[in-house]
Amino acid sequence: MTGWRADAFSAALEERGYRGIGQPFTLLDETASTNDDARRMAERGAPHGATVIADTQSAGRGRGGRRWHSPPGDNLYLSTVLRLDLPAEELAPLALAVGVAVARACDEVLAARRALVKWPNDVYLEHEKLAGVLVEAMSRAGSPPQLIVGIGVNVNARELPEGLAVPATSLALALDRDVDRIETAACLLHHLGSVVEDYATAGLASVIGELRDRDFLAGRRVQVGEIAGEAAGIDDAGRLMVRDEAGRSHPVLSGDVTWRGLS
């Protein structure tokens, strides 16, 4: 395995402060998609917080069925099983809270720079995408849906593929030095644990202030499906508010947002 040693990862988790997510863990050299692995683990009864990390993915996927470029050696590809007894309306906004956890972890690595969350769940540094979140629900009759939270972070990639849907960057490119992938993973799981714990008791209210503070789209010209206008914040239910030219506000529940500069 290139870089993922179980003893070093275990020690990093312990050192960072275990917050209920990251144990038990499975480290893989190669897989198709860690979200599929985590789903299979959950079907076999893996507990809340069980996590799978791979060095490379041959079929890593992003939102909307897009491919998630997953070369070996450099980046972070992980998926976690969440068993939360949440009302249905609180499942979708959880992805926003996960974005906040990823942004917190990126901030720690970046020290003086602040990562932003692009609704619904991308993490940006300035105008470039640093990380993405893919939350998938698995439902079983008679029991609350379980969630698979997949996170991809560009950690040490120095060359990103041409023709990506959006400009991308990595922690190493931002810092102009290599970054410890194991420390980054432990830091991320720590923040994810703490955000999920708060979300389980207080829902989106637990992170909405910070989310608004980190809102990448605020004030930009955006287009989501048929709706075009200015991004006017995120409401208490986690919907993106878009103000059209006539001044009407449209709450957007889901979708891909394309953006331009500030209005």
Residue ranges in contact with ligand BTN by CB under 6 A: 33-35, 57, 60-63, 66, 68, 77-79, 122, 132-134, 150-152
Would you say 92 or 243 has its CB closer to ligand BTN? Answer: 92
CA-CA-CA-CA dihedral for 206, 208, 210, 215, to nearest 10? 150
**Nearest residue relative to ligand BTN (C-beta):** 132
Would you say 96 or 151 has its CB closer to ligand BTN? Answer: 151
Are 156 and 170 in contact by the 8 Å Cβ rule? The answer is yes
The helix, strand and coil proportions of the chain, stated in percent and rounded to the nearest 5, come to 30, 30, 40
Are 178 and 158 in contact by the 8 Å Cβ rule? The answer is no
Would you say 22 or 60 has its CB closer to ligand BTN? Answer: 60
d(CA 91, CA 59) in angstroms, rounded, equals 25
Q: Please state the closest distance from residue 165 (CB atom) to ligand BTN, in A.
A: 9
Are 63 and 42 in contact by the 8 Å Cβ rule? The answer is no
d(CA 107, CA 129) in angstroms, rounded, equals 14
Residue 86 gets which letter from DSSP? -
Span between the terminal Cα atoms of the chain, in Å: 47
Q: Please state the closest distance from residue 121 (CB atom) to ligand BTN, in A.
A: 7
Would you say 9 or 232 has its CB closer to ligand BTN? Answer: 9
Q: Please state the closest distance from residue 253 (CB atom) to ligand BTN, in A.
A: 17
Q: Please state the closest distance from residue 201 (CB atom) to ligand BTN, in A.
A: 26
Q: Please state the closest distance from residue 248 (CB atom) to ligand BTN, in A.
A: 29
Residues with Cβ < 8 Å from 20, sequence gap 6 or more? Answer: 48, 49, 193, 196, 197
Q: Please state the closest distance from residue 228 (CB atom) to ligand BTN, in A.
A: 22
| 57's tokens | 């993915």
Would you say 42 or 151 has its CB closer to ligand BTN? Answer: 151
Q: Please state the closest distance from residue 172 (CB atom) to ligand BTN, in A.
A: 17
Would you say 55 or 230 has its CB closer to ligand BTN? Answer: 55
d(CA 47, CA 45) in angstroms, rounded, equals 6
Would you say 78 or 232 has its CB closer to ligand BTN? Answer: 78
